[in-house]
Structure 1
Amino acid sequence: MSENTFQTITSKLWAMANELRGNMDANEFKNYILAFMFYRYLSEHQENYLVTNNVIDVPEGMTVNDAYKEEADGEDLADYLEDISSSLGYAIAPDDTWATLNAKIDNSEIIPSDYQTIFDNFNKNAELNAEAIQDFRGVFNDINLGDSRLGSSTTARAKSLNNIVKLVNGIEFKDENGRDILGEIYEYLIGQFAATAGKKGGEFYTPHEVSKILAKIVTNGVKESDEAFAVYDPTMGSGSLLLTVGNELPHDARSGAIKYYGQELNTTTYNLARMNLMMHDVTYSNMTLNNADTLESDWPDGPDEKGIDHPRSFDAVVANPPYSAKWDNDKTKLKDPRFSDYGKLAPASKADYAFILHSLYHLNNDGTMAIVLPHGVLFRGAAEATIRQTLIEKNYLDAVIGLPANLFYGTSIPTTILVFKKNRKNKDILFIDASKEFEKGKNQNTLTEENINKIISTYEKREDVDKFAHVATLDEIKENDYNLNIPRYVDTFEEEELVDLQEVKKMLAQDDADIKKLEAEIAEQLKILGV
């Protein structure tokens, strides 16, 4: 698909979405349009399953939906739903399909309660497959069908929902070559809603350029393998960072080659992540997502009923957690195996190191972890200094990469990427100062492909680059009292050109002579004019 075609589709869609949302906040409106896109995807995916697996016969001249209605009728319906659910993890009855919903709208047969019925039935059918319940149940719960901003009456609200359905139905999900572009459109919309939502947008979306750097780092050197690659994001937001890691792997096209794990505290955002992964063709069997507080009880596979911990470890861990968030650092957490090796807990007002230690705890011995955090983690003292020193002494910290300011939604502060590995052979730390590697935008700075390639190339080569990168020895780190502030290691000072005072004096004399000459010419002209 050409870039122009994609931009035309997405720009038109965004303009129509903005027109439809009226006085509703963009962050709220996203719950409707993204959810209905997902419902359309599930319904059409089910249609494809029914045909390609010969679950139903579709006579010539009949639509798949009509054939489904005819066959899955009466007492046979339960059997069909069981069959569909066992394969897809969900099932949509003939009366609730996307095609049926649109037909009802077109024929003015829709009634306000139809929407609630559709989603209630979806949740009910999600119970049919025990292995998939967690992936599908409640995924549409963020659609507030009674929101007064949709309309002042039940009928008005139903009309607004009808308009959203028709907007989504008009989206072209395939490009001119027949390739499915739904995932790309969905990702575009998430990014647009994040940009419009300001600070709230930063809670569920990591800019794609930053995600790309993290993904390239944690997949660096990974070879194609018959074994599944497991990636974990403990603060997954919309799940986009997980998907970016998948896209960077050499074997991402093979079904089951990647296992995605993620955790998210915000329920609305958790639902968004479930939808996002599945709309990028991640099957429910290849994703394990959890709606909980990452820093409370450990997940996945924390302590058993006897209190013995069995942590699951991953080939890659990526994270962009909330910066300097508050957390419950009760002293009992010093017994938590995630934190117990470090002697101190992250302060209650700044959970940054708690997220680092949780993530590192779930990294396997051959894996790579990359996490984005504010620069304060590099130099703050007290408990954080103790944890930082211990991490360095354990030889876990591999690289520190300083990013430009104003890259993220909702905050203009510069950030840093910390890279960790457990089985490092070298005992140095690579510092990269990429704070000037950006393209200035109207509201936000962005990383270009050239900026990204420069950072990754420097990370791979692991060599000193004048005013950009330095490989620091452990002795250097110790001399700086384990302070990792990047300017201590990468000197970006640009010496000003020496000024030749004699040359300046000569230029001033010439300027003075020019001025006197000009004044004389003006005086002569005034004399001629008799002034």
Structure 2
Amino acid sequence: MAKKKVETTKSIEETLWQSCDKLRGSVDPSEYKHVVLGLIFLKFASDKFEERKAELIAEGKEKYVEMKDFYNMKNVFFLEEISRWTYISKNAKQNDLALKIDTALHTIEKNNPALKGALPDNYFSRLGLDRTKLASLVDKINEINTLEDEEQDIIGRVYEYFLRKFAIKEGKGKGEFYTPKTIVNLMAELIEPYKGIIYDPACGSGGMFVQSIKFIESHQGSKKEVSIYGQESSPTTYKLAKMNLAIRGISANLGEKHADTFSNDQHKDLKADFIMANPPFNQKDWRGENELIDDPRWKGYDVPPKSNANYGWILNMVSKLSENGVAGFILANGALSGGSEEYKIRKKLIENNLIEAVVIIPRDTFYTTDISVTLWIINRNKKERTATINDQAKNYRNREKEVLFMDLRRWGSEYEKKFVQLTEEDISKVAVHYHNWQQKDWETTYKNIPEFCQSVDFDTLKENDFSLVPSKYIEFVDADSSIDFDTEMKRIQTDFKELLKEEKQSQDQLINAFKTLGYEL
């Protein structure tokens, strides 16, 4: 499918970004994002506070306007005068503006337990931002009317847009706090997290949770029917997640603090109905040589190799799934084949009928890597059954011995000149084929399509030594297109290294020959 270029008009998010980005100066994006997003949160919290205060006055309850409980009962954060946007804006020209902002954020967090560990800590004073530029930034953010149109979620859109732009700015090797929205949307459409417990073991800035709630609301569900659990190891990203969720009014348990999921699991006894994750790709040295050997998360499987955490993440998620739980997660393509310890785990996962689908995502979808990556779906219950989803009965057939493969490498639309995103039409087409394949009447609603999708039985997987590389199974009209490019590139690189090694050996032999003849080289 050819890539299309999408023409867009300038939005409020884009206009605000261009204004704010000009003010950044010499501050690194990884630091600056906490400044901007902290101010956006402060503006939002203040607007909600002032709205609630006006309600109390209108109800004749003016004597209660400074009482915390009358705000908390409406899920509004209570703000002391020094934490209100009107105070910050009024003092924007003062030399101690940075200190006033730090104090405002600290006071909000102190007065609202739900925000514990959420807000930037002493960022403004520590960074030494130019006072004039900081004042200009305050003026720009002052232009956002966060309550103008709640249906359009202005503040949520701005926050989301800034997260994405900061992820792009930070570039390869950084920006791991953000998963592209279209990938999260695809994941949600496939695993359908309507109600129950949703978990993300590497939650970044909380994008999986935000899009899950949007999915539920777009299908006339209620966010009150889900409970959210997550974990994040980076202290600054942990703050981003808590702010992101607070802005949307989403309650979540992200653990007592930021912590590594492997060494300090914050949700040891959790059983989730849905897992959505984009853990770090090919994480090295994630455990010590003799650490986590007897971890209960690997029970029934080999211990994942310490050289690569991919299968550690997989088994962590498998261990957290409830009896009917479904997981959707992103991994680098290398996890699809190879590796001695990984092979044994992958084989066992297939034999245990856990792997339901493998979807190759287009290249250049992620801001931190240009390689093609894979969306895995793991399902604890692939048996024949009837389930009610969004008040509609779905009749699932027995898929225990099958895996659905999809290849989307040629799909998507270009944006930001060098990235690719799946369109709504792309996501809808993938979801329809996937759900049709799951149903009892699948033989009338689903069919294998060359260069797109193929349903594969256990015997065929076994014949291919339990490889999960889609190009081994999907039919291609052009035989050359069946090449798995990532695997082929690795082979070419290996061959090239061997050629260099042979060339070096030849040079050494020639030098030794000349030395034998008495020449000094």
Normalised by the size of structure 2, how large is the TM-score?
0.78
2:206 is matched with which residue: 239, 244, 259?
Answer: 239
2:459 alignment partner in structure 1 = 475
Contact 1:194 1:200 in 2 (8 A): no
Report deviation, 1:408: 0.5
Which deviates more, 91-100 or 243-252?
243-252
2:346 alignment partner in structure 1 = 388
Mapped to 1, the partners of 2:20 and 2:200 lie a distance apart of 30
Which deviates more, 367-376 or 48-57?
48-57
AA in 1 matched with 2:209:
L
1:260 alignment partner in structure 2 = 228
Contact 1:35 1:143 in 2 (8 A): no
Unaligned runs of 5+ residues in structure 2 are 1-5, 384-398, 438-446, 481-521
2:300 is matched with which residue: 322, 341, 345?
Answer: 341
After TM superposition, the structure 1 = structure 2 runs for residues 411-422 of structure 1, keeping only pairs within 5 Å, are 411-422=369-380
2:287 alignment partner in structure 1 = 328
> CA offsets per residue over residues 20-67 of structure 1, 9 Å max, x none?
1122223321111111110111122222333435698588xxxxxxx9
2:126 alignment partner in structure 1 = 146
2:265 alignment partner in structure 1 = 298
2:409 alignment partner in structure 1 = 435
1:97 alignment partner in structure 2 = 84
AA in 2 matched with 1:279:
I
Report deviation, 1:182: 1.1
AA in 2 matched with 1:490:
I
Contact 1:407 1:445 in 2 (8 A): yes
Mapped to 2, the partners of 1:125 and 1:32 lie a distance apart of 21
Report deviation, 1:461: 2.1
Which deviates more, 418-427 or 255-264?
255-264
Indicate whether 1:460 and 2:435 are aligned: yes
CA distance 1:179–1:318, change in 2 (3 Å): closer
AA in 2 matched with 1:466:
P
2:272 alignment partner in structure 1 = 314
**Which structure exhibits the higher relative contact order, with contacts defined as CA atoms closer than 8 Å and separated by 6 or more residues?**
2
Report deviation, 1:255: 5.2
Mapped to 1, the partners of 2:57 and 2:221 lie a distance apart of 25
After TM superposition, the structure 1 = structure 2 runs for residues 98-497 of structure 1, keeping only pairs within 5 Å, are 98-105=85-92, 113-126=99-112, 129=113, 132=114, 135-141=115-121, 143-148=123-128, 150-151=129-130, 157=131, 159-174=132-147, 179-200=152-173, 202-219=175-192, 222=194, 228-249=195-216, 254=222, 256-282=224-250, 284=251, 286-289=252-255, 290-300=257-267, 302=268, 311-326=269-284, 327-328=286-287, 330-342=289-301, 344-425=302-383, 426=399, 427-441=401-415, 442-462=417-437, 463-494=447-478
Q: Which has the larger radius of gyration?
A: 1
AA in 1 matched with 2:470:
I
Secondary structure, aligned partner of 1:430: strand
AA in 2 matched with 1:319:
A
Mapped to 1, the partners of 2:9 and 2:78 lie a distance apart of 31
Indicate whether 1:22 and 2:25 are aligned: yes
Report deviation, 1:109: 8.9
Secondary structure, aligned partner of 2:17: helix
Mapped to 2, the partners of 1:278 and 1:399 lie a distance apart of 33
RMSD of Structure 2 on Structure 1 (CA) = 2.9
Instruction: State the aligned residue count.
Output: 446
Mapped to 2, the partners of 1:247 and 1:84 lie a distance apart of 25
CA distance 1:334–1:24, change in 2 (3 Å): same
CA distance 1:172–1:50, change in 2 (3 Å): closer
AA in 1 matched with 2:303:
L
> CA offsets per residue over residues 414-447 of structure 1, 9 Å max, x none?
0111100112122211111222112345212222
1:10 is matched with which residue: 13, 24, 28?
Answer: 13
Secondary structure, aligned partner of 1:398: strand
Mapped to 2, the partners of 1:177 and 1:6 lie a distance apart of 21
CA distance 1:175–1:125, change in 2 (3 Å): closer
Report deviation, 1:82: 5.8
Mapped to 1, the partners of 2:311 and 2:202 lie a distance apart of 14
> CA offsets per residue over residues 56-103 of structure 1, 9 Å max, x none?
8588xxxxxxx98xx64xxxxxxx246545764853212321112212
1:307 alignment partner in structure 2 = none
Report deviation, 1:178: 7.6
Secondary structure, aligned partner of 1:291: coil
Contact 2:349 2:355 in 1 (8 A): yes
Mapped to 2, the partners of 1:38 and 1:364 lie a distance apart of 35
Mapped to 2, the partners of 1:88 and 1:365 lie a distance apart of 33
Report deviation, 1:175: 5.0
Mapped to 2, the partners of 1:452 and 1:255 lie a distance apart of 22
